Amino acid sequence: DLERGLLVQLRQFLIELGVGFEPELTLEENIIYYGVLLGHAEALVRASVDEILQFAELAEVRDAPTKTLSSGMGARLGFAIATQWRPDILLLDEVLAVGDERFRRKCAARLERFWDAHSTIVLVSHDMNYILRTCERVVWIDHGAVHFDGPSAEGVERYLATIPSGAGFERGEQL
């Protein structure tokens, strides 16, 4: 049913961005709230709270109001909730830019379980190496215009061809 599908997509979009975390609620309360909003049974979500907090590396502040989190911590929590269960559609906007290298690798490893025919992943990223390793298709959008839509290797190559050499930037000619 189209309406249910759009609602699932909207719910997934909201959790991905961490939009609407209730600032006065604790992390645990927000996890339950968003897990249920994503359509999961409350009992399942409650049973997953510890695992979500451990993944987000926020277990020690589980009872703190969400408003006390930094933006990076909020992004980690949103990512942990959104990837706890297999989504139909997963929207990721520079999610691997959050946190230190160890946490980025942990996120990439977690995403590996979704790179199959059962989930659609829309990844917004400037990490060309990650795009080449994980994506089959690239849509390059610049200032609202689609510049390329096709195989990842070709899209990355075309994008990189538009970047001036380092020497041009060093002289400030491209600024």
Q: Which of 16-25, 47-56, 123-132, 137-146 has the lowest mean pLDDT?
A: 16-25
pTM value is 0.73
12-21, 59-68, 120-129 — most confident range: 59-68
For 5-34, how does the pLDDT look when each residue is reduced to its tens digit (9 = 90+)? Answer: 554 554 444 444 455 688 999 999 999 998
Which amino acid is present at 20? Answer: G
Please enumerate in sequence order all residues whose Cβ is within 8 A of that of 1, keeping only pairs 6 or more positions apart, or say none. Answer: none
**Greater pLDDT, 85 or 15:** 85
Instruction: Indicate the DSSP class of residue 41.
Output: -
Question: Who has greater pLDDT, 28 or 129?
Answer: 28
Extended beta strands in the chain, E state: 89-93, 120-124, 137-142, 145-151
Would you tell me the crossing angle of helices 27-37 and 2-17 to the nearest 10 degrees? Answer: 160
